[in-house]
Amino acid sequence: MTVAKASALPHSFADVHGYLQTAVTLARRAGELIKQYRHPAIPSATPTLSVDAKSGPTDLVTSADLASQNLIFSALAAQYPTHLRIGEEDANHPALTDAPTWIVDAIDGTTNYVHGLPSACVSIAMCVDRAPLVGAVYNPFSGVFHAARGRGPFLMTLRSRYVPVPASTTPRAHRMGV
């Protein structure tokens, strides 16, 4: 009798949809949190943004990075306690394995974020068997990109309009005649 590994079990459409909804919801929640550090709705309630260098002067971590990752990891631990979590801000994170694993960059583009540029986002992916299954990238200033394996990428604008993102198997340089 062969026993399948938990990670090798097929994920139903409902599972994948649930993972995708979790990624999108948490990316939005974390995005709104990091926005509060830079553009507070209530100035008197503004969290203090502290900035530190990690491995060098251009590798930054902020209090917003840590708060965002904590929000995401707490929610994931409550909803999917058996899933692994890897975060950019964790010095000793687990290695990527075949087990269901959430990979988080709480602020992708921290240097832009520190300088007040609207080119920073929250990135969340869920991998199984070391391959991405779903992902969401939320820029609180423009919208959320999300995708699920086999279903294609989409952009949901800040005005809640869904736009399919064309995918191409032809490299961009080749399409441009390079």
**Is 3 domain-assigned?**
no
At residue 81 the predicted structure's pLDDT band, cuts being 50, 70 and 90, is: very high
Q: Which letter does DSSP use for residue 141 in this model?
A: T
CA distances from 123 to 8, 19, 106, 169 (A): 25, 14, 6, 23
**Is 51 domain-assigned?**
yes
**Is 6 domain-assigned?**
no
CATH number of the domain encompassing residue 115: 3.30.540.10
**Is 142 domain-assigned?**
yes
Task: Give the tens place of pLDDT for each residue, 35-77.
Answer: 988 876 666 666 788 999 888 888 899 999 999 999 999 999 9
Higher pLDDT, 161 or 120: 120
The fraction of the chain above a pLDDT of 70, given in percent, is 78
Q: Which letter does DSSP use for residue 99 in this model?
A: S
Task: Give the tens place of pLDDT for each residue, 130-160.
Answer: 999 999 999 988 888 888 988 888 877 666 6
Count the domains in the chain.
Answer: 1
Is residue 141 within 8 A of residue 31, CB to CB? The reply is no
Is residue 150 within 8 A of residue 142, CB to CB? The reply is no
Q: Is 109 a residue whose pLDDT tops 70?
A: yes
Q: Is 171 a residue whose pLDDT tops 80?
A: no
Higher pLDDT, 58 or 107: 107
The fraction of the chain above a pLDDT of 90, given in percent, is 51
**In which domain, by residue range, is 21 found?**
11-175
**Is 79 domain-assigned?**
yes
The total of other beta-carbon atoms located within 10 Å of residue 124's CB is 27
Q: Which residue blocks in 57-147 are alpha helix, DSSP H?
A: 63-79, 110-114
Q: Which amino acid is at 99?
A: A
Is residue 100 within 8 A of residue 126, CB to CB? The reply is yes
**Is 1 domain-assigned?**
no
At residue 28 the predicted structure's pLDDT band, cuts being 50, 70 and 90, is: very high
CA distances from 81 to 20, 75, 85, 101 (A): 17, 10, 10, 11
